[in-house]
Amino acid sequence: MPAPGAPGTDGVAAPPPASGAWRDGDPVGGRRWFALPGPLALEAGGFLPGARLAYQTWGSPRPDGSNAVLVLHALTGDSHLTGPAGPGHPTAGWWTELVGPGRALDTDRWFVVAPNVLGGCQGSTGPASAAPDGRPWGSRFPFLTQRDQVAAEVLLADVLGIDRWALVVGGSMGGMRALEWAVAHPGRVGALLVLASTAAASAEQIAHASAQLHAIRADPGWHGGDYHHLPPGGGPHRGLGLARRLAQITYRSEPELAARFGRVPQSGEHPWRGGRFAVESYLDHHAAKLAHRFDAGSYVVLNQAMNAHDLGRGRGGTAAALRRAAVPALVAAIDSDRLYPPTQQAELAALLPDADALRVLSSPYGHDGFLLETGQVAPLLAELLPAARR
């Protein structure tokens, strides 16, 4: 059963686009772009030519760039860190409560930078973007790792004149990149905040992602990754929707789902006659939203990069790698997180040079707690930002 479409102006569900990626000609929505100065050498071999990063900024940099904060988004996030939904941005900012004048990331004091990850679909080069021959990259897009993505972000920092970030912060996939920054470029990181992330993807996390990728590739609309030319309704939106349903279950906790939905039927429907339970409607809603704002190819590329995440690869193991990250650091765990369980953050924090690195946030929301518990994240930012000024 296909994911339900978003309502059109006539009230009838509109078919999902072949890709929800931002395209040239769409409203800019506050984005800026940085074109990489040459082909990007990739960890797995080969090069990515003609790449660019979309990013947004808030606040003003000091002449020496010493007040710059880098915020790195999770899997289906983007550079729209704060602000309402509108032209060019299908969703509201994902950390609006934390960014702005007088907030934890006070833009009267800090210059906040949020790039869209390389391989993403909201302005940065990814599978939906035009390759040098003018056609979408599609199945030709190369395999990326977190190290490749950080290498592109280092070039962005260079062009912005930022020799050292006061703070690098990220959650989930963004936390992986934040760790890569601290391990690969410790001299350019003043302080580090990692939320609900890990030093290396676990077998279970790889398994969850693998099931989602199989769902996308099994969709007849996938066409081997070359579907961007198809009309609305013709792309792999069913597979992407199923992937989102599978992911959403892992993002929340069982007690929260039980408290919110239980066995309650969706309004006006009768599950014992083939209708849906309310929790099924909830999953359908998230599937439809993602199909309208994201690209299935980017979902594959970014999940593969997350599966490949391993700080210790080629660095003598995880412990040796993390010894390089000699910066003030905090690692935040969500006590109800079943996707990135607190044991992973405890192991990570124990290997960082900062001996008092672990914090545990209490939340019913599971993994999504790093996005939703802004009242508990704000003190962590306040704790690190003074250290970043030293």
Cα–Cα distance list, 33 to 24, 121, 137, 148, 233 (Å): 12, 13, 19, 18, 30
Question: In this structure, are residues 80 and 129 in contact, taking their beta carbons and an 8 Å threshold?
Answer: no
User: What are 184's two structure tokens?
Assistant: 């690969």
Question: In this structure, are residues 93 and 83 in contact, taking their beta carbons and an 8 Å threshold?
Answer: yes
**Catalytic annotation on 229?**
no
Among 176, 125, 127, smallest CA distance to 18 is for: 127
Task: Read off φ and ψ for residue 136, nearest 5 degrees.
Answer: -55, 145
Among 45, 44, 155, 30, smallest CA distance to 83 is for: 30
- Distance between CA 277 and CA 323 in Å, rounded? 49
- Distance between CA 338 and CA 329 in Å, rounded? 23
- Distance between CA 375 and CA 98 in Å, rounded? 9
> 40 forms bridges with which residues in the sheet?
48
Active-site option among 310, 337, 363, 368: 337
Amino acid 262 reads G
**Catalytic annotation on 172?**
yes
Strands 32-35, 52-58: pairing kind: antiparallel
**Catalytic annotation on 367?**
yes
Among 358, 351, 354, smallest CA distance to 335 is for: 358
Active-site option among 124, 129, 172, 336: 172
Strands 68-72, 111-115: pairing kind: parallel
User: Which residues lie below 8 Å from residue 68, measured CB to CB, with a gap of 6+?
Assistant: 61, 110, 111, 112, 113, 157, 160, 162, 165, 166
Cα–Cα distance list, 218 to 173, 226, 325 (Å): 25, 14, 41
Annotated active-site positions, please?
A: 172, 337, 367
